[in-house]
Amino acid sequence: MRRNLMLALALAGVLSLGVTAIASAVQITLRAGNVVTTFGGTTSPKAMPKNDYVPVSTNIFGKIGTANGNHPPALREVDFDIDKDVKINVKGYPSCKSSQLTARNTNAAMKVCGKTVLGKGEAHVEIAFPEQNPIKVPSPLTVFNGGEKGGKVKLLIHIFITVPVPAAVVTEVTISRKGSGIASISKIPVVAGGSGSALDFKFKLGKTYSYKGKKVGYFEAKCPDGVFKANVKKILFKNEAKTPDEAAQTTLKGALAVPCTGKG
């Protein structure tokens, strides 16, 4: 079954990032209070048919920081709607369960769910304990297909941190129909008991496969009117590390119109 979808990372970030990634080359910086975020990416192919969907892949990046250099608050939720010019093919592509990833490092996760991978990259998380210097922790980032159930499609974004103890962090992105478009909600779990916050990430996302003898893209797009439209309803950050002089909660929102190139 085909479902409309605009790529949702979020990233861990992850997620509103897919909106920027569909353009040929886009970067956007958003600020609310002390929180400063930059999202961007590129897509292939750069030009898409006006009326027919074609497989697409994207390179996505994001940075999360603060204007005063403090430990950034934790990204906890991304909620947005997108128009009908992007869709997903889930039929015939293998899927993985979140429970298969939550207790495994990257290598172990690949052993059990490697056939369901949609994208790979890397991320950094900052761990800030009271009265200690923040620790920057690198991790591979892997996006797995979570399958479809009850009319909803899931993506699973897996990273593995080693501080304060080895632990997998799995973000679930849930996509459902909303009118002629889709609604996407990303839930990012608490990291390191609230002491961990995402700093940055980058990854390539997209997969082409065969289904019933036809070549299809897990993600496909078209460009009928030269723009992709998205309503970013909420990007929620929480000051779980209780950093002094930081707001307990910060919310970003807005509308995005991202240009694309149509042909034919």
Q: Encode the chain (264 residues) as per-residue pLDDT tens digits.
A: 333 222 333 333 333 333 333 334 467 788 899 999 988 777 788 899 999 999 999 888 889 999 999 999 999 998 988 778 888 889 999 999 999 999 999 999 999 999 999 999 999 999 999 889 999 999 999 999 999 998 899 999 999 999 999 999 999 999 887 766 778 999 999 999 999 999 999 999 999 999 999 999 998 889 999 887 778 888 999 999 999 989 999 998 877 777 788 997
d(Cα 6, Cα 85) in Å, to the nearest integer? 8
Inter-residue contact 152 to 184 (CB < 8 Å): no
Q: 203: exposed, middle or buried (C-beta count within 10 Å: 0-12, 13-18, 19+)?
A: buried
User: For position 200, what pLDDT does the model report?
Assistant: 96
d(Cα 7, Cα 107) in Å, to the nearest integer? 25
Alpha-carbon distances of 57 from 12, 26, 46, 50, 217, rounded to whole Å: 18, 15, 10, 17, 9
User: For position 179, what pLDDT does the model report?
Assistant: 67
User: For position 26, what pLDDT does the model report?
Assistant: 67
d(Cα 230, Cα 213) in Å, to the nearest integer? 33
User: For position 112, what pLDDT does the model report?
Assistant: 98
User: For position 226, what pLDDT does the model report?
Assistant: 87
Q: 169: exposed, middle or buried (C-beta count within 10 Å: 0-12, 13-18, 19+)?
A: buried
Helix (H) or strand (E) holding 8: none
Inter-residue contact 247 to 31 (CB < 8 Å): no
Inter-residue contact 218 to 88 (CB < 8 Å): yes
Q: Look at residues 247, 234, 255 and name the one whose alpha carbon lies nearest to residue 76.
A: 234
Q: So where are the chain's domains?
A: 2-263
d(Cα 166, Cα 195) in Å, to the nearest integer? 14
User: For position 87, what pLDDT does the model report?
Assistant: 82
Would you tell me how many other CB atoms lie within 10 Å of the CB of residue 192?
A: 23
Name residue, tokens 């459902």: 176
User: For position 17, what pLDDT does the model report?
Assistant: 34
